[in-house]
């Protein structure tokens, strides 16, 4: 039995960054800013204030808020979760502020809440 040997294609000659130079977030590594390591605490506080404002705008439950604060206390690894929460809440705020109607069983939730005294 003969073996078929295929040539291996050459890789790009660019060296891969060392694990010390990047932080893995999801599928795409993010470069670490070594010039300003103390930037994260202020960024965390900014994101936290933004999340709180969005929670108030969307009337997010106290249970969700409590879990969120207990889980994410400002560690740099929390950055992805803070960004996801901001994006999720911003999407909800934008969707409802444009007047998009959410339907459930063929009835608008906004209309149903008004009829049931939730307005």
State the Cα angle at 58 between 96 and 56, rounded to 5°. Answer: 145
pLDDT value of position 27: 47
| pLDDT at position 97 | 80
Element (H, E) at 68: helix 62-71
pLDDT tens sequence for the chain (119 residues): 566 666 666 655 555 555 555 555 444 555 555 556 678 899 999 999 999 999 998 889 999 999 998 999 899 999 999 999 999 999 988 888 877 555 555 566 555 444 444 44
Give yes or no for a contact between 109 and 102, defined as CB atoms under 8 angstroms apart. Answer: yes
The domain segmentation of the chain, as residue ranges, is 39-93
Ranges of beta strands (E only) in the chain are 22-25, 28-31, 103-104, 107-108
Instruction: State residue 96's pLDDT score.
Output: 81
The pLDDT value given to residue 62? 94
Question: What's the pLDDT at 118?
Answer: 44
pTM of the full structure? 0.53
């Amino acid at each position: 039995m003969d073996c078929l040997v295929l040539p291996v294609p050459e890789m790009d000659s660019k060296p891969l960054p060392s694990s010390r130079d990047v932080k893995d977030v999801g599928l795409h590594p993010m470069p670490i800013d070594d010039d300003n390591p103390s930037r994260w605490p202020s960024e965390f506080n900014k994101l936290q204030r933004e999340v709180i404002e969005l929670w108030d705008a969307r009337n997010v439950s106290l249970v969700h808020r409590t879990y969120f604060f207990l889980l994410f206390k400002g560690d740099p690894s929390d950055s992805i979760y803070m960004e996801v929460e901001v994006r999720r809440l911003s999407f909800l705020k934008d969707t409802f502020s444009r007047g998009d109607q959410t339907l459930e069983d063929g009835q608008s939730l906004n209309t149903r809440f008004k009829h049931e005294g939730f307005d």
